Amino acid sequence: MSTNISRQKREDLLDKIKEIRAYIAAAPQDGQTARLLVSLSQLEREVNGKKYGLVYEEHREEIDRILEEHVPVLTEEPDLFIRNGGQMHVLMEGDNLAALKLLEKTHLGKVDLIYIDPPYNRGKRDFIYDDDYIEPEDAFRHSKWISFMRPRLVIARRLMQKHGCIFISCDDNEVAALRLLCDEIFGEQNFQGHIHWRRRHNQPNDKTKLIALVTEHILVYSKNREEHKKYGVGKVRVTGKFTNPDNDPRGPWASKPWKSGSNQSGCTYTITSPTGKVFHEEWLGDEDTFRALEKDHRIVFPRGGNGSPRKKYFQFEREEEGQCATNWWPSDLFGCNQDATDELKALFDGVCPFDNPKPTRLIKSLINLGYVGDSGVILDFFAGSGTTGEAVMQLNAAGAHHRFILCTNNENNICRDVTYERIKRAIDRQGYQESLKYYKIDYVPVSGRLYYEYADELLRHMRELIELETGVHYEEEGGAAIALTEEELEEWIEDTESFRQCKRLYMGMDLLPSEEQETEIAQNGTEIQIIPDYYYQDLQEGSCAGQRSERNEYEEWN
């Protein structure tokens, strides 16, 4: 029987701690002995801490400090509003951790699918942590990347529907750490697969490496594997080679053996080929089923009629139903980096304004694989060039009704000049019936202030949160209303048409409707939400979300 040496060492250390604790407890007690006993308890917790999984040096970035003393809010850029019917999408400019905190207030448990393409931490000035590029020589390079990713993934999980799933792109630099991190956050049992996407057609000739890199990784996790299975598992486009050597009027086809495999149960009977060769085997279906397929010209005998029978399946049938994905995604079927570059060049007059974008074919395939039905909420909080947004609009043009929420910072004006501009140009040039709200993330200071001292500042940003939650342009939406003053409340009630259609009233916390107004609102079936309390209840109760560590937050919901 094997011996667990680590556990033996751990138990020896715990025995020593017990001896020291007993010695201190027997000594005269004062402030110093009390502090020593507390320290021993801390040492004991450390010894009993995690023994398997991801171990790293935790770091804090500036945004952590900002969120401890401020509350993030949204401010719309009205000049960038795209009003073109269809779904109301959202683009947020700012730190994505702050964006996720805001989405916790509007989309907790509401997101169907998340795709992210975070920085790969190659040590090639591709990952900025706390305003500095992470260099290869940084001894804490990997720990900083994990510290950066962890709080974002914790919130991402909270935003997901029970049947939701997340796709995360990465490369060799952090794939091992990312797998362990996701096992911890989403649960190892919810791991759905590891896609190897061939991102380039050609073979690189890098003589400095033993193995040339042609693929990237996409890790796939469900929030709850069983809920995802019950909701439905998506398909991807059909792969394989289809031909039509016999000119079947139903079009190109491929075939598979009718003979039962070693792990399949079947029926045993005799089949004679057109050349007279006899096969007595265990087959996939009974003899009546075989004869019906043969009559429908769905059975072929290869090798001039001497081969074992095979069943035809047609390309049009597979395209209608799709097929289950594998973990190998070739570039000819799912796009490559060059395809993505060409897509951007087509929109930006021959110039590619973003390094290493993803192709829309890849993202559309991931969305279909995640299976979000016809009207899912799709989030990308490392939006980059905006591929996810354009992919969603392409799917909507084909009949879906998805809504995307994108977030990216504005380093080198990327959000305004690339992400937004790509969405705008795609809408203009392709004639997509889609609309877009552009929000900037701002901050309201709360440290050292009581809730009522800054509640009015929060009220100035309520319309943006309401629009983010409901996916509407407030001025055109009759299903919701905002009243911050007695005059606004009275005007709303007197507007018969707007009042009749309204299902939810967002009302300022200092506004007191009359008894008659309360009766009218109740009879109208309108739900009242008090703002800003509706979104900032935790602040009213005296706790700032940023004051708790992400680890404590994780332990609360896990």
Q: Is the confidence at residue 67, as pLDDT, over 60?
A: yes
**What pLDDT digit, counting tens, does each position of 249-264 carry?**
999 888 888 988 766 6
**What pLDDT digit, counting tens, does each position of 24-64 carry?**
888 888 888 888 888 888 888 887 776 677 887 888 888 99
Pairing of strands 215-222, 160-170: antiparallel
**What pLDDT digit, counting tens, does each position of 127-165 carry?**
666 556 677 667 778 888 999 999 999 999 999 999 999
Per-residue model confidence (pLDDT) at position 57? 81
**What pLDDT digit, counting tens, does each position of 446-464 carry?**
999 998 899 999 999 999 9
Distances in whole angstroms, Cα of residue 172 to Cα of each of 175, 216, 274 = 5, 8, 53
Yes or no: say if 154 and 220 are a contact pair by the CB < 8 Å rule. no
Q: Is the confidence at residue 238, as pLDDT, over 60?
A: no
CA 280, 282, 287: angle at the middle one, nearest 5? Answer: 80
DSSP 373-415: TTS-EEEESS-TTTHHHHHHHHHHHTT---EEEEEE--GGGHI
Q: What is this structure's pTM?
A: 0.78
Per-residue model confidence (pLDDT) at position 551? 39
Task: Indicate the pLDDT class of residue 235, thresholds 50, 70 and 90.
Answer: low
Q: Is the confidence at residue 408, as pLDDT, over 60?
A: yes
Return the higher-pLDDT residue of 226 and 93: 93
Residue 259: name the closest of 268, 251, 248 by CA. Answer: 268
Amino acid at 474: Y
- Lowest-confidence segment of 221-225, 372-376, 446-450, 460-464 by average pLDDT: 372-376
Q: Is the confidence at residue 269, as pLDDT, over 90?
A: yes
